[in-house]
C-alpha cells in the first residue's frame, strides 16, 4: 500500500525523469540534425514539468487575490517556465536556422555524412 | 491555396478575430492566462495564416520586412524605456512604484507598457523567423 | 537622480539597449560606433564598481525596488567586480579589432547584426557576473550562449556551421542541467536569491534533492566550462569562428562559467558541504589533471594553430579547476588569478592569429612558415604569449602558476608540484611547434607580399600582449583582487 501511494504521489516526477532521459537519448543516439533538436525539445519539456507540477499546492486556487480563498498556488514557477519556454523557442529557431544553412552547405542533414565530408578536407589541409 | 475559395473566405473571416483574440490575451495577462509573449505569438500566427493562404508576397506587402525588423528592436527599447523611466523618476531600474501617483497605478502602468514591448518584439521575431525560413529555397509561386 | 547608485543596473542596461539600437541603425559604421561606445562605457562602469567595492564592500541593488529576497538583486562583491572588469575590458579591446577583422570574414550587409550579437553576448556575460538571483543567472547565460552560437556560425568556413550546431546542442544540454539544478534548489529552499538560498540550505543540507541539485549544477556548468571530458565543442568552435570572436570567447565564455561554479559552490552550497562531505576534491583533481595532460598532449599534434591553442585552452582550464580542488584560500586565489591571466593571454593569442590569418591567408602550420621574417612583431607577440602559457617568469601566466604551486606546496602535495611542472613541459612542446615553423622555416611562395596589418587591429593586439607582460610584473591589481575575492568566498561559510 505504501509503495503505491508513493508511486501515485510522485507520478509527475516519474514522467519528468522519463521525458528527460528520452530526450537525452534522442539527442545522443540519433544522427539526423532535426531529430536531435526534437530530442532537445523533449528534454527541455521535462524541465517545465519539474518546475510547474510542484507549484500546484493541494487545495490551492489560482493566484489571484480574493476574499473567499486562503491557499493560493504559487505563480512563480509559471513565470520562470514562461521564460524557459521562450529560451527553448529561441534555441529551437536558431538550431533550425543552422540546420537549413548546413543543408545548403553540405547537401545533407545526417551527422555521420557531414563528419565524413569534413574529415576529407582536413587531411588535405595538412599539405 | 489562393485558388481555393473556401480557404480564402474562411481566412478572411477568421483573421480579424484572431487579431482581436491576440489583443484580448495581451490586455488580460494580469487577470488570466496571457500576457505579452502569448499575444505576440497569436498575432504572428494570424499574419502567418494570411501568408499561407494568400502567399508570401502578399503577406510581405501587408507587413513589410523593414517593419518586422524594426518591431523586434522597438519592443526591446520599449521594455528598456520603462526601466529607464523608473530610473529618471527617482526609483531603481524597472521600478514601477514611481511611474504614477500611487503604487498600484504605477504597477499597472509599468506592467502594461512592459507587456506591449514584449508583444511587439515577440511578434516581430516570430514573423521574421517565418519570413526567413519561407523565403529560403524555392519561392512560393502560388 | 544620482547616477552613481544606479551603476550596477546601468552595467547591464547600457549594452542591452545598445543591441536594438544597432539593429535599427542598419549602417555598419554607426552600429560599430554604438557598440564601441556601449562597451567602453561598460568598462568604465566596471572599473568604477570595482573601486567602490574595494573601498566599501559589497554593493546590493534591488531591481524594481523590490527588496531581496522577493525581488531580483544585483550583488557586486569582490569576485563579481573582478569578473566585470575582465569581461568588459576584453570587449573594449576586441571591438576595435573587430572592425577590420570581420571585413573579409563576414558579408558586409550582416556587419550590423554582428555588432548586435556581440553586444548581446557582452550583456549576457556581464549579467551573469553581477546578478544575485539564481534563475537570472540562467537567463543571462542563455542570452550570452545564443549570441555566441550566432557569432561562431558567422565564420568563413562551412565547418563553422557544424561547430556552432554542436556547441548549441551541448550548450543547451548544459544550460538545461543548470536549470534543473536551480529548480531542485528552489523546491527545497523556496527562494531564488543566492544569498537567501545559502542561508536556507543549512537546514536541508545533505538531503537527496540538494545533492542531486549539486550534481546537475556541476555537470551543467562543466559543459559550459569545457572541463575534460565535456570539452568536445571547444576545439571546433574556437577554430572555425571568426578570429575576433575566438579572441573574445576564449577570454570570457569559459571564465564566466567558472565564476558561476564558484558562486554556486561557495555562496549557495557552502564549502563544507561541497568539499567536506562529498569527494568533490578528488573528482575535480582527477578531471583537472586529465584535462591538463590529455588536452596539452593533443595540442602538440595539431596542424592548425587555432585548433592547437583551442586545445591549449582546455588544458589551461584544467589548471583553473586544479586550484579549485585544493579547497584552500591560496588554491582559490590561483583559480581566480588564472581566470584573468589566461583570459588576457588567450585573447592576445587569438587576436595575433587573426593578424596572421589576414596576412598569410590561414593559420595552419604550413602557412605560418617563416612568420618570423614576414611579420616579426606578430611572431614576437606570439612568443611572449606562448611563454605566458608555459609560465615563464615575467609574464602573467607565471603569476598564476606560482600561486598554484604555492597552494600545492601548502598541502604538502609534492607529486602535484611535479605534475604541474610536467604539464608546463607539454606547453613548451606545443609552443615550440609554432616557434619552429615561424623562425626555422622559409616563407611559402604563394603568400601575398603586400598585405599589411591595419592600425585598428594592431593596436588592440599590442595592448593585450603588453598587458600579458604588465600583469606578470605588476601584480597588485590581479593578485590583490583575487586574494580578496578568495578570502571573501571562503570566509562566507
How does DSSP assign C296-341, residue by residue?
A: HHHHHT-SBHHHHHHHHHHHHHHHHHHHHHT-SHHHHHHHHHHHHH
E strand intervals along A1-127: none
Contact list, B122 vs chain A (CB under 8 Å): 86
Cα→Cα distances C296→C60, C177, C430, C468, Å: 41, 28, 8, 21
User: Total domain count for chain B?
Assistant: 1
Residue A125 to residue C176, Cβ atoms within 8 A: no
Question: Pairing state of beta strands C59-62 and C73-76?
Answer: antiparallel
Q: Which three cell numbers stand for residue C380?
A: 614576437
In a domain, B140, yes or no: no
Which of B72, B136, B138 to probe the A interface (max A CBs under 10 A)? B136
Which of B92, B103, B122 to probe the C interface (max C CBs under 10 A)? B92
Nearest to C252 by CA among C419, C452, C470, C88: C88
Cβ pairs B/C, distance under 8 A: 55
Phi and psi angles of residue C364, each rounded to the nearest 5 degrees, phi first: -75, 155
Crossing angle for the helix pair C305-325 and C396-410, to the nearest 10 degrees: 30
In a domain, B21, yes or no: yes
- Report whether C385 contacts C465 (CB < 8 A): yes
Is residue B2 over pLDDT 80?
Answer: no
Q: Tell me if chain B has a CB within 8 Å of the CB of A117.
A: no
Q: Which three cell numbers stand for residue A87?
A: 529560451
Separation of alpha carbons C87 and C77, rounded Å:
15
Give the model confidence (pLDDT) of B42-54 as tens digits: 999 999 999 999 9
Chain A residue closest to B137 (CA)? Answer: A104
Separation of alpha carbons A11 and B50, rounded Å:
42
Cross-strand partners of C193: C133
User: Total domain count for chain A?
Assistant: 1
Least CB-CB distance to B92: which of C21, C23, C62?
C62
Q: Which three cell numbers stand for residue C120?
A: 548581446
- Report whether C118 contacts C147 (CB < 8 A): yes
Separation of alpha carbons C320 and C334, rounded Å:
7
Q: Which residues of chain C have pLDDT under 70?
A: 1-2, 447-450, 492-493
Residue A98 to residue C158, Cβ atoms within 8 A: no
Nearest to C492 by CA among C264, C270, C210, C189: C270
Nearest to C8 by CA among C126, C141, C135, C119: C126
State the smallest CA–CA distance between residue C287 and chain A in angstroms. Answer: 22
In a domain, B142, yes or no: no
What percent of chain A shows pLDDT beyond 90?
49
Q: Which three cell numbers stand for residue C167?
A: 556547441
Q: Tell me if chain A has a CB within 8 Å of the CB of B136.
A: yes
Is residue B138 over pLDDT 80?
Answer: no
Chain A residue closest to C191 (CA)? Answer: A76
Separation of alpha carbons C122 and C39, rounded Å:
8
In a domain, B28, yes or no: yes
With helix as H, strand as E and coil as C, how does chain A read? CHHHHHHHHCHHHHHHHHHHHHHHHHHHHCCEHHHHHHHHHHHHHHHHHHHHHHHCCCCCECCCCCCCCCCECCCHHHHHHHHHHHHHHHHHHHHHHHHHHHHHHHCCCEHHHHHHHHHHHHHHHCC
Residue ranges of B 56-115 with Cβ closer than 8 A to chain A = none
State the smallest CA–CA distance between residue C187 and chain A in angstroms. Answer: 8
Residue B77 to residue C20, Cβ atoms within 8 A: yes
The pLDDT assigned to B141 comes to 42
Give the helix/strand (H/E) hosting C61: strand C59-62
Residue C16 to residue B70, Cβ atoms within 8 A: no
State the smallest CA–CA distance between residue A88 and chain B in angstroms. Answer: 13
The pLDDT assigned to B1 comes to 57
Q: Which three cell numbers stand for residue B100?
A: 504614477
Q: Would you say the C-alpha torsion C155, C159, C164, C165 has a positive or negative sign?
A: positive
Residue B92 to residue C61, Cβ atoms within 8 A: yes
Q: Cell numbers 491557499 label which residue?
A: A71
Q: Using DSSP, state whether C394 is helix, strand or coil.
A: coil
Residue C172 to residue A84, Cβ atoms within 8 A: no
The pLDDT assigned to C476 comes to 87
Question: Which subunits count as partners of chain C given 3+ CB pairs below 8 Å?
Answer: A, B
Contact list, A41 vs chain C (CB under 8 Å): none
Helices within B28-102 (DSSP H only): 36-54, 56-62, 65-88
- Report whether C242 contacts C99 (CB < 8 A): no
State the smallest CA–CA distance between residue A95 and chain B in angstroms. Answer: 12
Task: Quickly count: other Cβ atoms within 10 Å of residue B84's Cβ.
Answer: 18
Contact list, A95 vs chain C (CB under 8 Å): 165, 168-169
Rounded mean pLDDT, B66-73: 93
Q: Which three cell numbers stand for residue B110?
A: 509599468
Cross-strand partners of C60: C75
State the smallest CA–CA distance between residue C442 and chain B in angstroms. Answer: 47
Could you tell me the residue range of the domain that residue A77 belongs to?
2-125
The pLDDT assigned to A1 comes to 45
Cα→Cα distances C93→C198, C238, C248, C347, Å: 36, 18, 9, 9
Chain B residue closest to C19 (CA)? Answer: B73
In a domain, B117, yes or no: yes
The one-character DSSP state at A72 is B
Q: Which residues of chain A have pLDDT under 50?
A: 1, 123-127
Q: Tell me if chain A has a CB within 8 Å of the CB of C5.
A: no
Q: Using DSSP, state whether C59 is helix, strand or coil.
A: strand
The pLDDT assigned to A123 comes to 47
- Per CB distance under 8 Å, which residues of B are interface residues toward C? 69-70, 72-77, 80, 83-84, 86-88, 90-98
In a domain, B75, yes or no: yes
Contact list, B80 vs chain C (CB under 8 Å): 13, 16-17, 20
Cβ pairs A/C, distance under 8 A: 74
Contact list, A93 vs chain B (CB under 8 Å): 129
Separation of alpha carbons C314 and A113, rounded Å:
27
Residue A93 to residue B37, Cβ atoms within 8 A: no
Here the CATH number for the domain that contains residue A69 is 1.10.287.3510
The pLDDT assigned to A59 comes to 82
In a domain, B141, yes or no: no
Crossing angle for the helix pair A11-29 and A33-52, to the nearest 10 degrees: 160
Separation of alpha carbons A23 and A42, rounded Å:
5
Could you tell me the residue range of the domain that residue B102 belongs to?
5-135
Chain C residue closest to B103 (CA)? Answer: C65
Residue C1 to residue B87, Cβ atoms within 8 A: yes
Amino acid at each position: 500500500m505504501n509503495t503505491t501511494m508513493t508511486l501515485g504521489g510522485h507520478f509527475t516526477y516519474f514522467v519528468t525523469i522519463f521525458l528527460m532521459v528520452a530526450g537525452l537519448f534522442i539527442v545522443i543516439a540519433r544522427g539526423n540534425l532535426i531529430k536531435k533538436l526534437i530530442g532537445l525539445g523533449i528534454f527541455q519539456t521535462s524541465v517545465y514539468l519539474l518546475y510547474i507540477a510542484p507549484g500546484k499546492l493541494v487545495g490551492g486556487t489560482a493566484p489571484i487575490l480574493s476574499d473567499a480563498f486562503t491557499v493560493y498556488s504559487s505563480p512563480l514557477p509559471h513565470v520562470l517556465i514562461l521564460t524557459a519556454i521562450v529560451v527553448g523557442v529561441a534555441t529551437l529557431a536558431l538550431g533550425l536556422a543552422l540546420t537549413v544553412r548546413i543543408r545548403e552547405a553540405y547537401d545533407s542533414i545526417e551527422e555521420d555524412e557531414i563528419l565524413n565530408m569534413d574529415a576529407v578536407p582536413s587531411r588535405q589541409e595538412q599539405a | 491555396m489562393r485558388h481555393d475559395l473556401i480557404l480564402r473566405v474562411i481566412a478572411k473571416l477568421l483573421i480579424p478575430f484572431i487579431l482581436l483574440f491576440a489583443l484580448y490575451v495581451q490586455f488580460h495577462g494580469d487577470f488570466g492566462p496571457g500576457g505579452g509573449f502569448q499575444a505576440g505569438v497569436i498575432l504572428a500566427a494570424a499574419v502567418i495564416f494570411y501568408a499561407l493562404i494568400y502567399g508570401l508576397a502578399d503577406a510581405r506587402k501587408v507587413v513589410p520586412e523593414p517593419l518586422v525588423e524594426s518591431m523586434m528592436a522597438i519592443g526591446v527599447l520599449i521594455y528598456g524605456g520603462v526601466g529607464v523611466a523608473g530610473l529618471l523618476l527617482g526609483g531603481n531600474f524597472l521600478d514601477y512604484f514611481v511611474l504614477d501617483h500611487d503604487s498600484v497605478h504605477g504597477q499597472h502602468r509599468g506592467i502594461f507598457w512592459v507587456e506591449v514591448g514584449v508583444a511587439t518584439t515577440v511578434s516581430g521575431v516570430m514573423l521574421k523567423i517565418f519570413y526567413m525560413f519561407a523565403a529560403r529555397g524555392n519561392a512560393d509561386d502560388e | 537622480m544620482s547616477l552613481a547608485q544606479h551603476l550596477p543596473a546601468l552595467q547591464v542596461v547600457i549594452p542591452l539597449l545598445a543591441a536594438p539600437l544597432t539593429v535599427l541603425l542598419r549602417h555598419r559604421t554607426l552600429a560599430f560606433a554604438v557598440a564601441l561606445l556601449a562597451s567602453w562605457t561598460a568598462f568604465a562602469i566596471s572599473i568604477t564598481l570595482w573601486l567602490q567595492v574595494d573601498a566599501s564592500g559589497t554593493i546590493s541593488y534591488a531591481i524594481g525596488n523590490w527588496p531581496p529576497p522577493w525581488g531580483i538583486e544585483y550583488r557586486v562583491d569582490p569576485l563579481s567586480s573582478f569578473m566585470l572588469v575582465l569581461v568588459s575590458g576584453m570587449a573594449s579591446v576586441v571591438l576595435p579589432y573587430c572592425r577590420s577583422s570581420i571585413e573579409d570574414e563576414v558579408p558586409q550587409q550582416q556587419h550590423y547584426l554582428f555588432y548586435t550579437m556581440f553586444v548581446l553576448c557582452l550583456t549576457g556575460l556581464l549579467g551573469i557576473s553581477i546578478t544575485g538571483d539564481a534563475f537570472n543567472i540562467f537567463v543571462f547565460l542563455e542570452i550570452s550562449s545564443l549570441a555566441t552560437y550566432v557569432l561562431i556560425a558567422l565564420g568563413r568556413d562551412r565547418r563553422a556551421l557544424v561547430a556552432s550546431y554542436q556547441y548549441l546542442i551541448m550548450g543547451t544540454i548544459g544550460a538545461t542541467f543548470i536549470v534543473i539544478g536551480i529548480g531542485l534548489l528552489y523546491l527545497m529552499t523556496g527562494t531564488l536569491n543566492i544569498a537567501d538560498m545559502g542561508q536556507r540550505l543549512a537546514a536541508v543540507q545533505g538531503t537527496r534533492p540538494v545533492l542531486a541539485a549539486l550534481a546537475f549544477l556541476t555537470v551543467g556548468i562543466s559543459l559550459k566550462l569545457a572541463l575534460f571530458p565535456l570539452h568536445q565543442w571547444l576545439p571546433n568552435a574556437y577554430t572555425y569562428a571568426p578570429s575576433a570572436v575566438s579572441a573574445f570567447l576564449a577570454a570570457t565564455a569559459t571564465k564566466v562559467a567558472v565564476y558561476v561554479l564558484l558562486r554556486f559552490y561557495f555562496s549557495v552550497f557552502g564549502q563544507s558541504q561541497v568539499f567536506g562531505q562529498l569527494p568533490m576534491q578528488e573528482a575535480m583533481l582527477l578531471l583537472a589533471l586529465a584535462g591538463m595532460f590529455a588536452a596539452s598532449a593533443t595540442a602538440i599534434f595539431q596542424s592548425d594553430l587555432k585548433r592547437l591553442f583551442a586545445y591549449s585552452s582546455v588544458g589551461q582550464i584544467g589548471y583553473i579547476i586544479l586550484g579549485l580542488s585544493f579547497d584552500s584560500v591560496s588554491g582559490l586565489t590561483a583559480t581566480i588569478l588564472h581566470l584573468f591571466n589566461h583570459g588576457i593571454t588567450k585573447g592576445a593569442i587569438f587576436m595575433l592569429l587573426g593578424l596572421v590569418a589576414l596576412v598569410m591567408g590561414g593559420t595552419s602550420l604550413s602557412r605560418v612558415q617563416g612568420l618570423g621574417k614576414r611579420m616579426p612583431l606578430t611572431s614576437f607577440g606570439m612568443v611572449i604569449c606562448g611563454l605566458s602559457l608555459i609560465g615563464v617568469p615575467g609574464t602573467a601566466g607565471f603569476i598564476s602558476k606560482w600561486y598554484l604551486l604555492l597552494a600545492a606546496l601548502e598541502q604538502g602535495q609534492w607529486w602535484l608540484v611535479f605534475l604541474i611542472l610536467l604539464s608546463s613541459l607539454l606547453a613548451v612542446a606545443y609552443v615550440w611547434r609554432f616557434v619552429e615553423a615561424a623562425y626555422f622555416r622559409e616563407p611559402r611562395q604563394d603568400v601575398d607580399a603586400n598585405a599589411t596589418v591595419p592600425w585598428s587591429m594592431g593596436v588592440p593586439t599590442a595592448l593585450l600582449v603588453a598587458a600579458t607582460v604588465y600583469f606578470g610584473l605588476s601584480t597588485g591589481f590581479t593578485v590583490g583582487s583575487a586574494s580578496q575575492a578568495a578570502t571573501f568566498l571562503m570566509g562566507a561559510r
